[in-house]
């Protein structure tokens, strides 16, 4: 798409290709378009294979696409002046992001980086604006995205202030299971403990302890290659409960 991996590797734009029928069928907003709108969108969407470390979006670059995750896992983050990094969100399958930047056509204020080999879809910004101008259903989808993401960022800010690691893990997991922002996740999130540690900013060992606690509470089940949510409401509430018990 717009950026490449560190060290001069080939860019995502160079690896872009037309989306397959299956990939198009898994794009959540396609199903709310009228037939003419959908034909235009399907012709415009491209996908690229991102390698671990690839930057899909880079701070300061102008937006050329509105992006979505078909497969894999990305993270949205920013580097602070003191050299530390702040992660705003993990981006699992089904998630589309950057609509605010695409709306304003302003440079990115964050980086989007692949944590593992991923497939990323892109809708060109001009087609994004065309759909905004012509599709009521698409407008509602984008409005829901903006509203849900605002709530997500507020919750993430609150989670970062918690001193209890179990609470931070619980709330970050709840965000990744958000059915509006990440409809492709379902009940099973394919993620490693190390990837989760990267997103939350804790050690893998501490994340492992928190996951055992949440599993004992019945909120999740740790499975091979991922985590299954058993009770999303309990997972969200479990973060608050863990914070009170610290």
Per-residue exposure over 198-231, b if at least 16 CB sit within 10 Å of its own CB, e if not? bbbbbeeebbbebbebbeebebbeeeeeebebee
The verdict on 60 and 104 lying in the same domain is: yes
Residue 39 lies in a domain: yes
CA 222, 224, 225, 231: dihedral to nearest 10 degrees? -30
Which of 152, 177, 210 delimits the end of a domain?
Answer: 152
CB 23 within 8 A of CB 42: no
> pTM value?
0.84
Give the position of tokens 């609509």. 99
CA 127, 133, 138, 139: dihedral to nearest 10 degrees? 130
CB 121 within 8 A of CB 27: yes
Count of H-run helices and E-run strands, the chain: 9, 12
Which of 152, 180, 200 delimits the end of a domain?
Answer: 152
Domain that holds residue 148: 17-152
The verdict on 111 and 148 lying in the same domain is: yes
C-alpha span between 52 and 177 (Å, rounded)? 22
Summarised one tens digit per residue, pLDDT across range 64-123 is 999 999 999 999 988 766 666 778 889 999 999 999 999 999 999 999 999 999 999 999
Summarised one tens digit per residue, pLDDT across range 25-57 is 999 999 999 999 999 999 999 999 999 999 999
């Amino acid at each position: 798409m717009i950026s490449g991996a560190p060290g001069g590797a080939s860019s995502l734009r160079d690896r872009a290709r037309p989306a397959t029928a299956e990939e198009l069928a898994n794009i959540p907003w396609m199903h709310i378009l009228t037939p003419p709108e959908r034909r235009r969108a399907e012709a415009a969407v491209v996908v690229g294979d991102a390698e671990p470390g690839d930057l899909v979006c880079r701070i300061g670059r102008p937006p050329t696409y509105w992006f979505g995750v078909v497969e894999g896992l990305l993270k949205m983050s920013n580097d602070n002046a003191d050299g530390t990094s702040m992660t705003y969100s993990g981006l699992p399958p089904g998630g589309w992001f950057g609509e605010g930047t695409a709306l304003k056509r302003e440079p990115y204020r964050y980086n989007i980086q692949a944590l593992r080999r991923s497939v990323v879809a892109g809708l060109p910004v001009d087609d994004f604006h065309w759909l905004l101008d012509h599709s009521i259903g698409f407008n509602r989808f984008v409005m829901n995205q903006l509203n849900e993401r605002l709530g997500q960022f507020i919750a993430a800010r609150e989670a970062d202030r918690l001193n209890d690691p179990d609470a931070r893990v619980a709330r970050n997991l709840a965000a990744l299971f958000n059915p509006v922002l990440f409809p492709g996740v379902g009940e099973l999130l394919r993620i490693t403990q190390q990837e989760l540690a990267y997103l939350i900013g804790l050690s893998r060992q501490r994340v492992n302890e928190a996951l055992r606690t949440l599993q004992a509470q019945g909120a999740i089940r740790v499975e091979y290659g991922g985590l299954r949510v058993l009770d999303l409401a309990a997972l969200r509430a479990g973060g608050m409960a863990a914070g009170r018990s610290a």
